[in-house]
A and B are shown apart, each in its own frame.
Chain A
Amino acid sequence: MAEEFEPKIVAFLCKWCSSAGSDLAGVSRMEYPYNVVPITVMCSGSISPLYILSAFSRGADGVLVSGCHPGDCHYIKGNFYARRRIALINKLLDFIGLEPQRFQMSWVSAAEGTKYTEIIKDFVKELKPLGPQTKLGRDL
């Protein structure tokens, strides 16, 4: 039997909420799939659409962007800017025909270890049937 496809996910997590929330998942020993590799950034507002495109270009099967809930931003309003920016890139990715499941955004607070766990579990579950992302992957 062929080995099951294991998607590669890059998760951009803001330092104060989502990264702390995912740490909490760790502290609470909540198990979730290993497919995700997190990159902690200061604020979801600092996530440039270029990062997302770069991740897909370098072969990510899925990309997650996660920040503080609206109103909870450590930097007051960074996540509001992120929400706009990410909405646009999300629409664009969908428009060019990337499977919508491959790009997700979430609000995960420092207390939501469980939510983070659930998000990753569901993400992996949704990505598996899609197989590898080859549309934007760099093929030089």
Chain B
Amino acid sequence: MKRTGVFICHCGINIAGTVDVKKVAKELSNHTGVVHSEEYIYMCSDPGQNLIIEAIKENQLDSVVVACCSPTLHETTFRNTVKSAGINPFQCEIANIREQCSWVHKDMEKATEKAIKLTKSAVERVHRNESLDPISIPVTRRALVVGGGIAGIQSALDLANSGYEVILVERSPSIGGHMIQLSETFPTLDCSQCILTPKMVEVSKHPKIKLLTYSEIQDISGYVGNFKVKILKKPTYVDPDKCTLCDECTKVCPVVVPNEFDLGLTGRRAVYMPFPQAIPATYTLDIKSCPGLLPIACGKCADVCEPEAIDYDMKPEIVEEEVGAIIVATGFDLYDKELMAEYGHGKYADVLDGLQFERLCSASGPTTGKILRPSDHKEPKEVVFIQCVGSRDPELHCAYCSKICCMYTAKHAMLYKHHVPDGQAYIFYIDIRSGGKGYEEFVQRAVEEDGALYLRGKVSKIFEDKGKIKVWGVDTLSGKDIEIDADMVVLATAMRPSEGAEELAKKLKIALDKDGFLSEAHPKLRPVESVTPGMFLAGAAQAPKDIPEAVAQASGAAAKAIAILSQERLFHAPTVAKVNVNLCTGCGMCVHVCPYDSLSLKDGKAEVNEVLCEGCGTCSATCLRAAIEVKNLTPLQVNEMIGASLGG
């Protein structure tokens, strides 16, 4: 029988005000296996902790229960306390008699009774706890960054500049993400491309960064510190080393498809360079739109390519990499226009989304910086901007706020006015959210200096009529119906997790939130970590955010990754599953349910990879033979806790 000490914290009056701590101490002193029981005003204080240490030494305690606040707060504290007294930290358990008892009940007698049960339950558990040592694992000191937008670029550079090798994987032919499509950025209105391209070049030139564009994560295995990643490098059919960027190929290519970079406002050829500043600076043959490689149906590009850079035989390549940490920065996509039919997006040429408008404003865009209607290339004189398109609409679309639309719409109105000084910008809004350094001032500038007309209300109908886009709505402040004959409508559509993020999250075993964004481990305290150890989140993949936030989070994620990579070995919680091979029949049901692939069958018996196991215990509940259990929360322990919780 163990020699357990029980320590009951008053937490000032937080506990002692509702729970008769003296009675708890007395009751517990009579419990089988408890050799010491006392209460104290603040157990977590230095004197409180010393009291525990003294009692351990005096009574040769081998296990400790502290009845106090939630284990999320002081479990670590007290485990360290008992450790300093020479006891294994896993011989300390917390009974939460504050959040679960004193703070939610008023009747002292009843609360005391419950506190006794809670404490006895913890005693029963600790009686059967094993002494455990953290599991030590070596670290592969390289990182993987998925996504080559601003967040991915920032993370990669921070990691590389700290001296760690980085593999940066981008699915499209060039890095740059959505930021490279923007014309100017709020609130400073500096040129987006001008501030991003130096970083992109830095990435391409950085000796520590291995850039894999036109590549996707195919498979991932392993665990924190030791991930094995399989990356599918799609064939570009153009050898970048031979290509001289002469652009002859695009001239002969007979195929024209919508240009993704300009969001379909222009076309591109099947062989193309995404945009002039693309990194890597090379061409890509888009096999989906090419008339066909095998058998070669066209071959014109190869014919004109003098350096013979076009290689139709190029094959997909699987690159295998080992990394210690992973940063996921898969960014966002705009809400599908198909789903926004009520705004006429996709139906009327002059109804644009925010990104398309950015391209219209951009000097590198389809109109070389002139704002012209896609339909007739006329300068629009009246432009309606509509905010919250698809956002904040729990009934029909996304419940959340896409966060950046208020600001970029203000920016759009401003840019429009700068381009078309005699034009009028109308902005339909629900309310304006301009939290952020210089943001509110920026919106005010749009109103005051650039005369943007803010209309509080929703748009009820948009339709084309005689070359105009008619926008009907209501100004809820004045209560008046509004009808605008606009030349152009710009929709601030909702941000969605980028396409394929869900599939990737499944591969990475990162949880998604209800909107499909990647879930952080804790909304406040662990905002850049995923629930899977060693995987971190950056940028809009986690939630809608603007550039400075994305960059900040990217640096945060890099710092978190460095915290892993900077160590030679990592330590993993030892409360993992263990198999009783005598009972295991090798049915494999546990293997099937393990979310971390930590179980496998070996010689007809289940085997735990302790490093992968997170100790969730789903295997244990699945096993029909009680052949697998999680250390220190075994069925026996739970069963005894049930008994104690019911007062027997």
Contacts and interface: CB of A to CB of B under 8 A. Distances in A.
Interface of A: 8, 10, 20, 22-27, 29-32, 34, 37-43, 45-51, 54-55, 58-60, 69, 71-78, 81-82, 85, 117
B595 interface: yes
A25 B104 contact: yes
B641 interface: yes
Nearest to B511: A76
Contact of A29 (B104, B107, B630, B635): B104
Given A31-B106, A55-B646, A75-B618, A41 B531 contact: no
Given A32-B104, A46-B618, A22 B99 contact: yes
A96 B593 CA distance: 29
A16 to B, nearest CB: 8
Interface in B581-625: 593, 595-596, 614-618, 620-622
A73 B98 CA distance: 25
A59 B513 CA distance: 38
A-B pairs, 3 with minimum CB distance: A46-B617, A26-B99, A45-B618
B623 to A, nearest CB: 9
B98 A39 contact: no
Nearest to B639: A54
Contacts of A117: 104
Interface string B290-306: 00000000000000000
24 contacts: A24-B99, A26-B70, A26-B98, A26-B101, A27-B103, A30-B104, A34-B105, A34-B107, A38-B100, A38-B645, A41-B638, A45-B593, A47-B621, A54-B642, A58-B643, A58-B646, A71-B514, A74-B511, A74-B616, A76-B531, A77-B595, A78-B616, A81-B618, A85-B622
B509 A31 contact: no
Contact of B70 (A23, A29, A47, A76): A23
Contacts of B630: 42, 46
A8 to B, nearest CB: 6
B593 A48 contact: no
Contacts of A25: 99, 104
Given A75-B616, A81-B593, 12 more contacts: A10-B646, A27-B99, A31-B104, A37-B114, A38-B100, A43-B617, A45-B617, A46-B617, A51-B635, A72-B519, A75-B596, A77-B595
Contacts of B648: 58-59
A118 to B, nearest CB: 13
Interface of B: 70-72, 96, 98-101, 103-107, 110-111, 113-114, 117-118, 121, 509, 511-514, 519, 531, 593, 595-596, 614-618, 620-622, 630, 633, 635, 638-639, 641-643, 645-648
Given A45-B617, A54-B642, A75-B614, A23 B72 contact: yes
A117 B596 CA distance: 33
Contacts of B105: 31-32, 34
A34 B114 contact: yes
Contacts of A24: 99
A20 to B, nearest CB: 7
A91 B185 CA distance: 58
Contacts, number: 140
B642 A58 contact: yes
Contact of A26 (B104, B513, B614): B104
B513 A34 contact: no
Contacts of A34: 101, 104-105, 107, 110-111, 113-114
Contacts of B621: 45-49, 81-82, 85
Nearest to A20: B72
B638 A39 contact: yes
A69 B513 CA distance: 10
B66 to A, nearest CB: 15
A32 B106 CA distance: 9
A29 B106 CA distance: 10
B645 A39 contact: yes
Contacts of B117: 37
A13 B253 CA distance: 63
Contacts of A78: 595, 616-618
A82 B513 CA distance: 19
B638 A72 contact: no
A60 B645 CA distance: 9
B642 A10 contact: yes
A47 B114 CA distance: 22
B646 A60 contact: yes
A96 B137 CA distance: 49
A85 B531 CA distance: 24
A30 B106 CA distance: 11
Most chain A CB within a 10 A radius of its CB, from B71, B103, B117, B596 = B103
A89 to B, nearest CB: 11
Contacts of B106: 31
A65 to B, nearest CB: 11
Contacts of A69: 514
Contacts of A76: 509, 511, 531, 595
Contacts of B616: 42-43, 45-46, 74-75, 78
Given A51-B635, A55-B642, A72-B511, A81 B622 contact: yes
A32 B426 CA distance: 52
Contact of A75 (B595, B633, B643): B595
Contacts of B114: 34, 37
Contacts of B615: 42
Nearest to B112: A34
B582 to A, nearest CB: 19
B622 A73 contact: no
Nearest to B99: A26
Nearest to A45: B618
A98 B117 CA distance: 26
B513 A72 contact: yes
B126 to A, nearest CB: 14
Contacts of A37: 114, 117-118, 121, 645-646
Contacts of B593: 45, 81
Nearest to B125: A39
A26 B617 CA distance: 26
A73 B595 CA distance: 11
B507 to A, nearest CB: 12
Contact of A41 (B107, B595, B617): B617
A71 B511 contact: yes
